[in-house]
């Protein structure tokens, strides 16, 4: 199957022939009241250029939610109201076969283009309590502003429970929340619906650790091994079944305390596991035992493989 995502172009011939100003994005330029350059003519929806709610940049976001809210504002304003549109985050969701992918705010490329200094975090969790039947994996990538910890964007992938996580992240971005706030969000939990630590909380924990500098991490999409000691802390049967990264030494997390003599002091140590949590624990353990230069590989072995390692 081939999916062609060719984008959406605004049809603005009518607006042009009426002498309305067309913005740099190709849409009919509007102000917050949804007025075009002629205050007696309003523009909304796919053909209108509005603004991105997070960056404030001029934007044309061709989605039904923004179109409907803009229409409501324009309609009310034509009747004398004074409503203002605050922009869109581009929150969107799509199902492809049994997979769902949701998105809100900025991705890495957009954050770079907008001039943000940022880091990303990656977490893999379950759609609901792992011991309750039917749980499936949920993968979350956060884009977080360096220094402030403010959430800039989120991408969520999996089979179930994607919509509610994306909507929580969209609300968090709209509320200018930080990853510390995500750690403490009090979200609904019973085993069929979520976990005592919801995937949103877990994403906040990991991003919070990175933001506060609690632990050094390396991102598989940007980091290339350069003489570090690559420590695989998964169990031996996992390594035998799934393979390991080139040059990695396997010391299972449960044996690490007793096998510290096998870990060198003269090199940086990059620990990894399957998804990231045990690698994080290993890096903490090593740091507590005097190995100053340790890091955790974000997203673990699974992410490294996805990045072509």
Which positions lie near ligand FAD, rule CB under 6 A?
45-47, 62-65, 67
Q: Which tokens hold the place of 196?
A: 């005592």
**Measured from the CB of residue 16, what is the shortest distance to ligand FAD in angstroms?**
13
Instruction: Give the bridge partners for 93, in sequence order.
Output: 102
Token pair of 167 as six digits: 């909507």
Q: Would you say 66 or 208 has its CB closer to ligand FAD?
A: 66
Nearer to ligand FAD, 75 or 137 (CB): 75
Q: C-beta of 42: minimal distance to ligand FAD in Å?
A: 12
> In the bound complex, what is the minimum distance in angstroms from residue 223's beta carbon to ligand FAD?
36
Give me the least distance between CB of 62 and ligand FAD, in Å please: 5
How many residues appear in the chain?
309
Pick between residue 44 and residue 297 the one whose CB is nearest to ligand FAD: 44
Residue nearest to ligand FAD according to CB distances in the complex: 45
Q: Which is nearer to ligand FAD, 45 or 161 (CB)?
A: 45
The 8-class DSSP code of residue 214 comes to S
Among left, alpha and beta (phi > 0; psi -120 to 50; other), residue 119 is beta
Is the distance from CB of 247 to CB of 304 less than 8 angstroms? no
Toward ligand FAD, which CB reaches closer, 63 or 129? Answer: 63
48-51 vs 58-59, strand pairing mode:
antiparallel
- Look-up of token digits 């979200």: 187
Return d(Cα 121, Cα 154) in angstroms, integer. Answer: 10
Q: How many CA atoms lie within 13 A of 267 on its CB side?
A: 13
Smallest CA-to-CA distance from 44 within 2, 18, 76, 91 is with 76
Least distance (Å) from ligand FAD to the CB of residue 71?
Answer: 7
Contacts within 8 Å (CB) and 24+ apart, 199-205: 199/123, 199/125, 199/126, 199/127, 199/138, 199/140, 199/161, 199/165, 200/140, 200/165, 200/168, 200/169, 202/123, 202/125, 202/140, 203/121, 203/123, 203/125, 203/140, 203/142, 203/154, 203/179, 204/179, 204/180
Give the residue with the Cβ less far from ligand FAD, 26 or 137.
26
Neighbours of 9 (CB within 10 A): 12
Q: 153 or 208, CB closer to ligand FAD? A: 153
Q: Which is nearer to ligand FAD, 70 or 274 (CB)?
A: 70
Shortest spacing between CB 65 and ligand FAD, in angstroms? 5
Q: How far is the CB of 176 from ligand FAD (least distance, A)?
A: 24
CB of 94 to ligand FAD, least distance (A): 7
SS3 272: strand
């Amino acid at each position: 199957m081939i999916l062609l995502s060719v984008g959406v172009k605004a049809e603005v011939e009518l607006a042009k022939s009426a002498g309305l100003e067309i913005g740099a994005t190709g849409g009919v330029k509007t102000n917050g009241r949804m007025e075009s350059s002629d205050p007696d003519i309003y523009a909304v929806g796919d053909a209108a250029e509005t603004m991105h709610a997070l960056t404030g940049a001029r934007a044309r976001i061709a989605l039904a939610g923004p179109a409907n809210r803009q229409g409501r504002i324009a309609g009310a304003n034509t009747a004398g109201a004074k409503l203002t549109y605050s922009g869109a985050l581009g929150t969107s969701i799509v199902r492809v076969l049994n997979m769902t992918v949701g998105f809100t705010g900025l991705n890495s490329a957009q954050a770079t283009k907008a001039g943000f200094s940022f880091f990303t975090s990656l977490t893999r969790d379950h759609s609901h309590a792992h011991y309750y039947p039917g749980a499936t994996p949920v993968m979350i990538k956060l884009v977080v502003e360096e220094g402030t910890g403010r959430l800039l964007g989120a991408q969520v992938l999996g089979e179930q429970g994607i919509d509610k996580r994306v909507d929580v992240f969209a609300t968090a971005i709209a509320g200018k929340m930080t990853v510390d706030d995500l750690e403490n969000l009090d979200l609904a939990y019973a085993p069929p619906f979520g976990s005592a630590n919801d995937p949103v909380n877990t994403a906040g924990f990991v991003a919070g650790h990175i933001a506060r500098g609690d632990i050094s991490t390396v991102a598989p999409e940007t980091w290339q091994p350069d003489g570090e000691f690559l420590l695989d802390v998964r169990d031996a049967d996992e390594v035998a079944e799934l393979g390991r990264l080139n040059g990695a030494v396997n010391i299972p997390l449960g044996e690490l305390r007793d096998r510290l003599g096998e870990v060198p002091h003269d090199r940086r140590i990059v620990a990894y596991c399957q998804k990231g949590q045990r690698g994080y624990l290993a890096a903490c353990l090593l740091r507590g035992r005097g190995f100053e230069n340790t890091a955790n590989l974000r997203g673990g072995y699974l992410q490294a493989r996805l990045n072509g390692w």
